[in-house]
Amino acid sequence: MVKAPNAPRRRESSRLAVLTATRELCEENGYGRLTIEAIAARAGVSKMTIYRWWPSKGAVVLDLIDEAAAVTADPPDTGDLAADLHTQLSEVINLLTPQPTSPVTGVITEAQYDPDLARALRERLIEPRIAKFKDRLRRAQEQGQLPVDADFDVALDLLFGPIYHRLALHLGMPDPDYLDTLITHVLRALNPPPHRLDGAATA
């Protein structure tokens, strides 16, 4: 998927066997214990076959995510912004947990010290989803659920930030009720009251 040694002669069965073995081993032993040699053994495939088509372990898992996460590609749009945000955030939490065996968390971690993987992660997974998320906000805006000058970058940071904050520092993921509380706060932040100064309640 990343580099092309030659060909459409690539054997699809091997590719699938690799991705399947990767998924299974990740579930069984966690991303941390995942090795290319173990993937090759489980897939009944030569190590060379993996190295020929993927530049790193992370790239394999990224492909795995790509195929599996097509289902979660588009953010929901029922017309109820708050409810749709709740749905989408829950899905992201599901993708990132359980932390030790989540391929997505694994790739995010691995990308910390692999610039190539970081770029691929951002370009292939993150940025397209950010774009679609902002599209969803834009539609909400058109329906009057968000003010015309709402800052979508801030919305992105405030809504998804807590999840990654808790992921990074092992603080436990938000439960559905707390997710509601978060969304309520963020929507409040994006809807400035008509005649009031920022920041201070009484000062």
Partner DNA sequence: CTCGAATCGATACGGTACGTATCGTCCATC
Partner DNA sequence: GATGGACGATACGTACCGTATCGATTCGAG
Instruction: Give which of a copy of itself, DNA, none residue 53 binds (C-beta under 5 to 8 Å, depending on kind).
Output: DNA
| 52 vs 138, beta carbon nearer DNA | 52
| 12 vs 153, beta carbon nearer a copy of itself | 153
| 16 vs 189, beta carbon nearer a copy of itself | 189
* Cβ neighbour number for residue 57 with a 10 Å cutoff: 20
| 9 vs 196, beta carbon nearer DNA | 9
Q: Is the peptide bond before 194 cis (omega within 30 degrees of 0)?
A: no
Give the residue, chosen from 3, 37, 70, 202, that forms a contact with DNA under the rule CB under 7 A: 37
Tell me how far, at minimum, the Cβ of 59 lies from DNA, in Å.
10
Instruction: Give which of DNA, a copy of itself, none residue 143 binds (C-beta under 5 to 8 Å, depending on kind).
Output: a copy of itself
Nearest to 45 by CA among 15, 69, 23, 6: 15
| 1 vs 118, beta carbon nearer a copy of itself | 118
Tell me how far, at minimum, the Cβ of 42 lies from DNA, in Å.
11
The two structure tokens encoding residue 159:
């809504």
Name the site residues for a copy of itself (rule: CB under 8 A). 30-32, 81-82, 99-100, 105, 108-109, 111-114, 118-119, 121-122, 126, 143-147, 151, 153-154, 156-158, 160-171, 174, 178, 181-182, 184-193, 196, 198-203
Instruction: Give which of DNA, a copy of itself, none residue 164 binds (C-beta under 5 to 8 Å, depending on kind).
Output: a copy of itself
Task: List residues near DNA by CB under 7 A.
Answer: 5-11, 14-15, 17, 33, 35-38, 44-49, 51-53, 56-57
